[in-house]
Amino acid sequence: MDKTPRSVMRDEIRSITAYHVPDSAGLIKLDAMENPFGLPPELRARIAELASEASLNRYPDPGAVRLKAQLREVMHIPDGMELLLGNGSDELIQILALAVNRPAAVLLGVEPSFVMFRMVAATTGIRYVGVPQCANISLH
C-alpha cells in the first residue's frame, strides 16, 4: 500500500500546477498591484519605527477592530456593512469559497480571469464554470 502524502491527496489537487509569473524587468505591471518604485527613505524609517514598537510577541487583534474602524471612517463605509480582510486576494477568494461551499455549489468566473478562481474552486471542491467575455468585455 502506497504511504506517501501524494497517495492521500485528491486527484484534482495533484493535477494543479503553479501558475507562471513572467519576469517583469523593464515592464510597467498593472496586474499585480505592485509598485516599481522603492519607498521613500522617510517612509521606510517610519515603518521601521512602527515595527520596532509593535508587540510581536502577541497575536494581533483577530477581529482587526481598530483597523476596520479606521477603514470605515476613511472609506465612508456605512454602519451595518461588514469588512472582510485577508492576506491578498488569493486568501479572500479561498475564505469566501469555503464559506459558501455545499453540495452542488458552483463558482462562476469571468474568462479570461484570475487563475486563482479556478484553483480555489479545485482545492475547495467547488465546480468551476467560466463565463466568457465578448470582444467588448461584456458577458456572453
In a domain, 8, yes or no: no
CB 89 within 8 A of CB 72: no
Residues 138 and 127 in one domain: yes
The reported pLDDT for the residue numbered 13 is 80
Mean pLDDT score across all residues of the chain: 87
Q: Model confidence over 66-122: pLDDT tens digits?
A: 999 999 999 999 988 999 999 888 999 999 999 999 999 999 998 888 889 999 999
Residues 102 and 137 in one domain: yes
Q: Which three cell numbers stand for residue 14?
A: 495533484
The reported pLDDT for the residue numbered 130 is 92
Neighbours of 117 (CB within 10 A): 20
In a domain, 78, yes or no: yes
In a domain, 72, yes or no: yes
Flag whether the pTM goes above 0.85.
no
CB 16 within 8 A of CB 123: yes
In a domain, 1, yes or no: no
**Cell 497575536 found at:** 59
Residues 80 and 125 in one domain: no
In a domain, 136, yes or no: yes
DSSP bridge partners of 130: 109
Residues 97 and 131 in one domain: yes
The CA-atom distances, in angstroms, between 60 and each of 63, 66, 104 are: 9, 11, 36
Residues 94 and 79 in one domain: no
Find the mean pLDDT for residues 20-37. Answer: 75
- Domain count along the chain: 2
Residues 137 and 104 in one domain: yes
In a domain, 12, yes or no: no
Domain that holds residue 71: 40-85
Residues 131 and 81 in one domain: no
